[in-house]
Amino acid sequence: MNNDYHEDVRIPVENVALSGDLFIPAAAQAIIVFSHGSGSSRFSKRNQQVALYLRKRNFGTLLLDLLTPGEDSQYHNRFDITLLTARLAGATEWLKKQSISKNCAIGYFGASTGAASAIQAAAKIKNIGAIVSRGGRPDLASSQALKSVKAPVLLIVGSLDTEVLQLNRRAFEEMLCSKELAIVHGASHLFEEEGKLDEVALLATAWFEKYLNPVHVTRSL
């Protein structure tokens, strides 16, 4: 019997309801929450591709929009790291309280500005097991968050994305947690080159498998 769980969810955070796509394989003991970047959403083909690979490795995934459509139409909101952090933290607390997921370990996968919100949220929330950034902007996280985050952080950057690579190196130096900077050779900012997003998925999965130590899960659907 296939007990995979899949539901479109509405997550109440402060005075808004965030739209999300929650998928938990029957054997999952950890869930990866995706913090999307500026101008992106839960429908991002790149993040959906990574999420699919993670689910094949028995990780649950939560892809959600941190901004409402109206908020996203205001360009400045896409770079409001404080707002994005509050939304991500609120969605994480909601996830931890759901019966279907409350015993699962939690990790973050951030892209672009979503990487900064992932780091800042993890610096505030206990028990975030690991963070992966894809072409992210961890440099936009506060210096305090970079220094205080405890979750192991993997920064993945394309070798052709020279400006973002330099910014990642600066943020990498500030972080005191377990960390690694992985450079995908021949990849640009969006990892659009053939096979490069597959490399991202492999690197991310290996990181989560290394650092997420989920407890035994018994779920009733």
221, part of any domain: no
88, part of any domain: yes
Joined together, the tokens standing for residue 116 give: 């900064």
220, part of any domain: no
- Helix (H) / strand (E) element for 97: namely helix 81-97
pLDDT given at position 39: 58
Contact in structure between 112 and 38 (CB atoms under 8 Å): yes
For 122, phi then psi, to 5°, come to: -65, -25
Torsion sign over Cα 11, 126, 134, 51: negative
Tell me: the pLDDT tens digits for 160-176? 999 999 999 999 999 99
Strands 179-184 and 60-64: unpaired
pLDDT given at position 198: 97
| CA distances to 11, 32, 95, 215, 220 from 102, in Å | 15, 13, 7, 11, 12
pLDDT given at position 1: 36
Pick out the chain residues at pLDDT < 50: 1, 215-221
Domain of 165, CATH number, reads 3.40.50.1820
For 186, phi then psi, to 5°, come to: 80, 10
pLDDT given at position 221: 37
Contact in structure between 206 and 182 (CB atoms under 8 Å): no
Strands 30-35 and 16-24: unpaired
183, part of any domain: yes
216, part of any domain: no
Number of domains in the chain: 1
105, part of any domain: yes
Instruction: Name the residue range of residue 187's domain.
Output: 5-211
218, part of any domain: no
Joined together, the tokens standing for residue 119 give: 């780091």
217, part of any domain: no
How high does pLDDT run on average in the chain?
91
